[in-house]
Amino acid sequence: MRTDLFFSVAFATTVFAHSQKPVVDANADWMTKHMAEEHHVQGWDADSFFTLHDYNGDGWWQAAELMRTYGLFDESNKGMADKRKEEVRDVLLGLLDKDSDSSVSRKEWMDFIKSGKTLPDLNTGPGHHGDDEYEYEIHHWEKYHDENTKLEDLTHPEDIEHFKKHDEMEDAQDRLEAMQKLSIVEANIPQKFRRQ
């Protein structure tokens, strides 16, 4: 299924190379802006949009996938109240889920698009839904750095935070590997079973 996604997107779109985000009109609809800013894609079709945002590849958009597409699980929206996130989810399901089964089929999506509608801008941002690496690459690295950037040039607060996360992940992995080498991991023994 994921292979289909890549071929579908590749043939249905123009994908821009490193640091070449498509320029879109300020008055463009949310979907067009999302595809340009988050995926560096223009000229996409509705079927490709659906496939790209069907994160589990099951042919349906569940409520969580709609919320992810709008970036509601991203750190940039961590301050958004849960009630507001639920409102966004409900607006989207109200627009798309015609059979009220709390998911959106490809047919429901295509019918929505064929009726001349687009996904609305719900003031949640451009829809950051990639992992940390992807978001750092597309929103920071491509803007301020390039393939000629040296390690000593990575001094922006975003760079420092990004590589700090890498260091923390490596430290956690080292601790895990050290514990796996032990025959007994005392830290995993509940207090009531330890010698007093």
Residue 30: other Cβ atoms inside 10 A? 17
Contact 123, 85 (CB under 8 A): no
d(CA 105, CA 32): 21
Chain-wide mean pLDDT for the chain? 82
List the Cα angle 131/135/139 in 5-degree steps.
Answer: 175
Q: What is the pLDDT of residue 21?
A: 63
Q: What is the pLDDT of residue 5?
A: 43
Which residue, among 39, 7, 9, 37, has the nearest Cα to 24 in the 3D structure? 37
Q: Which amino acid is at 61?
A: W
If pLDDT is split at 50, 70 and 90, which confidence band does 144 have? Answer: confident
If pLDDT is split at 50, 70 and 90, which confidence band does 2 have? Answer: very low
Average pLDDT over residues 168-176: 87
Most confidently predicted of 61-75, 87-101, 116-130: 87-101
Q: Is it the case that residue 100 has pLDDT exceeding 60?
A: yes
Average pLDDT over residues 110-126: 93
Q: Is it the case that residue 187 has pLDDT exceeding 60?
A: yes
Q: What is the pLDDT of residue 188?
A: 84
Q: For the whole model, what pTM was predicted?
A: 0.62
d(CA 101, CA 93): 9
Q: What is the pLDDT of residue 139?
A: 58
Give the alpha-carbon dihedral of 22, 163, 124, 77, to 10 degrees.
180
Percent of the chain with pLDDT over 70: 83
Could you give the maximum distance between any two Cα atoms of the chain, in Å? 72
Burial of 124: CB neighbours in 10 Å, binned 0-12, 13-18, 19+? buried
Q: Is it the case that residue 35 has pLDDT exceeding 80?
A: yes
If pLDDT is split at 50, 70 and 90, which confidence band does 17 have? Answer: very low
Residue 59: other Cβ atoms inside 10 A? 13
Average pLDDT over residues 24-49: 87
Average pLDDT over residues 174-178: 86
Q: Is it the case that residue 117 has pLDDT exceeding 50?
A: yes
